[in-house]
Structure 1
Amino acid sequence: MQPRPPRIFSADDILAGRVSLDGYPFRYIYVTPSAASLFSGGAGFRLKTGNNGPPDQMLSAVELLETRGWEVVTVDVGAQATCMRRIRT
């Protein structure tokens, strides 16, 4: 019996191509900013300069997944996680 796949994926892993969800067996996942972006001072968002840190990284991964058959269900208030579901075809 193989181990159960995770439901939480780092935006950094998605953007770098280290995660492929093409054959993923479940319908719902969470996308989170990478731990490195959270602890590197990225929490000091600067909206006017475009440095949105971890939320920008997370939403970039979400936009990539939207082109691959996933849709946003919700984004948490602190922009620390996005819940997504695979679109049924």
Structure 2
Amino acid sequence: MSRVCELSGKAVMSGNNVSHALNRTRRVFRPNLIKASLLSDVLGQSVALKISTSALRTVEHNGGLDNFLVKARDVNLSLKARRLKKLVKQKLAAQAA
């Protein structure tokens, strides 16, 4: 799963460079990926993920990794992120009980 954001599912896209003379040549649009360590408050540990910068901003906007994972759809998440989401939900359920 290289060049794919683990949280948003953003991946490589392809398209055309279009010149002034309307000549078209193929090109690749790559997502802006970074390796980030995000802190999970519920689990009490940091998690290293390969995410896009827009996903990092969204995580911060939602109030942290745990809130983002609880709200996120499983279709967009990677296998590692889905497992992390499951652990967070279990821990939150245990704290509520």
Q: Give TM-score, length-normalised by structure 2.
A: 0.23
Counting helix residues as a fraction of each chain, which structure ranks higher?
A: 2
The structure whose Rg is larger is 2
Q: Give TM-score, length-normalised by structure 1.
A: 0.25
Give the number of the structure with larger relative contact order, counting CA–CA contacts within 8 Å between residues 6 or more apart.
1
Counting strand residues as a fraction of each chain, which structure ranks higher?
A: 2
